[in-house]
Amino acid sequence: MTRYIIRRILSMIPVLIFISLVTFALAHAVPGGPFDREKPLPAEIKANLNRYYGLDQPLWKQYTDWIGLTRNPSGEYAGVLQFKFGPSYSSRSRTVNDIFRAHLPVSAQLGFWALCIAVGMGVPLGIIAALKQNSFWDYFSMAIAIFGVSVPNIVLGPIFILIFALTLGWFPVAGWGTPAQMVMPAFALGLNSSALIARLTRASMLQVIREDYIRTARAKGLAERVVIIRHALKNAFIPVATILGPMFAALLTGTFVVEQIFAIPGMGKYFITSITNRDYPVVMGTTLLYAVFLVIANLIVDITYAYLDPRIHYE
């Protein structure tokens, strides 16, 4: 197992190199540059800025500078490899690292709670729906699931604000920091995924409870509760675990809309504005970071897999 994990981590390197190349290429392929303004800057100033940030260098050199393989214009190795993601062109007083430090934890927190809601609601709903197939609870859970899948969070957010903040006054309209402020955004973000999980859990559970080994468990005289919890759940959860990795990454990166609606100072907002500003270091740093999250999340899922299903063996 340890050897498998090491191998998997090693195999991430080419993936991340590839992603860094593509991000770099795409960021620079977008027409326009960071210092293009509606009222153009004087050519001299622009040239100075370009020189200062190394944008006058050949592209390959800009790339290796960013990665940290070559000395940047200030004569240091200060790139991704040194965990330095460079300066931000638009908020000049801060480096990309500063921005990450300030805003990433907010998005991560939002994503984490959304995932908790997704799993905490989706799994039980799916199980109830499967166990009480074609009953009120089944239809109820699946109605919630269909609602959750079909209503995007850009609609859900304002609905929540309207009902729970403005009408009922249970939660503050917007902002971030107190637990009460986290509730609505986390639900707005997580409901979609919880619906997805509920449907997957239901399908998987329905299949598992028809398996022969469930009949064997019942034939042993086990109580229905034990049959479900001990014999069915773990098996039913295996396919659900598969989507948790990409889902977490999606929740983390998909926070933009929700952050906008609820005025949350997270990473998503910065990411989008940095694209329109051609703030290359922020764009590339964020993309690369999310790529790392995704690969790691998938590795964790694969390890969980081996834990859930003893038939899976990693050599």
Partner 1 sequence: MAPLLQVRGLTTIFDTQDGVVHAVNGVSFDLNEGETLGVVGESGCGKSVSMLSILRLIPEPPGRIVGGEVLFEGRDLLKLDQNEIRKIRGNKIAMIFQDPMTSLNPVLTIGQQISEALELHLNMTKEEARQRTIELLRLVHIPEAESRVNDYPHQFSGGMRQRVMIAMALSCNPKVLIADEPTTALDVTIQAQIVDLVKELRRELGMAIIWITHDLGIVAGLAHRVQVMYAGYIVERANVHDLYANPRHPYTLGLLRSLPRLDARTREKLTPIEGLPPDLITLPLGCPFYPRCSYRVPRCLDENPALHAVDGQDGHEVACWVDVTQREEIRA
Residue placing its CB nearer to partner 1 in the complex, 60 or 213: 213
Q: Is 181 helix (H, G, I), strand (E, B) or coil?
A: helix
What gap in Å lies between CA 23 and CA 17, rounded to an integer?
Answer: 10
Segment 210 to 239, residues that bind partner 1, using CB under 8 A:
210-213, 215-224, 226, 230-231, 234-235
Question: Considering beta carbons, is residue 205 or 251 the nearer one to partner 1?
Answer: 205
Question: Residue 283: how many CA atoms within 13 Å on its side-chain side?
Answer: 23
Which among 191, 199, 111, 201 is positioned nearest to 151, based on CA atoms?
Answer: 191
State CA 163 to chain mean position distance: 27
Give rounded-to-5 percent helix, strand, coil for the chain: 75, 0, 25
Q: Are 122 and 195 in contact (CB under 8 A)?
A: yes
Alpha-carbon span 140 to 122, nearest angstrom? 13
CB of 185 to partner 1, least distance (A): 36
Identify which of residues 101 and 230 has a Cβ nearer to partner 1 in the complex.
Answer: 230
Give me the phi and psi of 302, to 5 degrees please.
-65, -35
Q: How far is the CB of 210 from partner 1 (least distance, A)?
A: 8
Q: Number of residues in contact with partner 1, rule: CB under 8 A?
A: 23
Query: Residues 107, 112, 115, 120: is their CA dihedral positive or negative?
Result: negative
Q: What is the Cα–Cα distance from 191 to 155, expressed in whole angstroms?
A: 12
75 versus 221: smaller Cβ distance to partner 1: 221
- Our CB check for partner 1 shows the closer of 112 and 314 to be 314
**From the CB of 221, what's the least distance to partner 1, in Å?**
4
Site for partner 1 in 293-312 (CB under 8 A): 308-311
User: At closest approach, how far in Å is the CB of 223 from partner 1?
Assistant: 6
DSSP lists the bridge partners of residue 95 as 87
User: At closest approach, how far in Å is the CB of 309 from partner 1?
Assistant: 6
Q: Which is nearer to partner 1, 130 or 195 (CB)?
A: 130
Min separation Cβ 197 and partner 1, Å: 20
In the complex with partner 1, the residue whose CB is nearer, 88 or 201, is: 201
What is the nearest approach in angstroms of partner 1 to the Cβ of residue 6? 25
Q: How many CA atoms lie within 13 A of 207 on its CB side?
A: 12
Over the window 234 to 273, marking each residue x when it contacts partner 1 by CB under 8 A and - when it does not, the resulting string is: xx--------------------------------------
Letters for 173-202 (x = contact with partner 1 by CB under 8 A, - = none) are ------------------------------
CA distances from residue 273 to 249, 257, 269 in whole angstroms, order as listed:
20, 13, 6
Residues lying near partner 1 in the complex (CB under 8 A): 210-213, 215-224, 226, 230-231, 234-235, 308-311
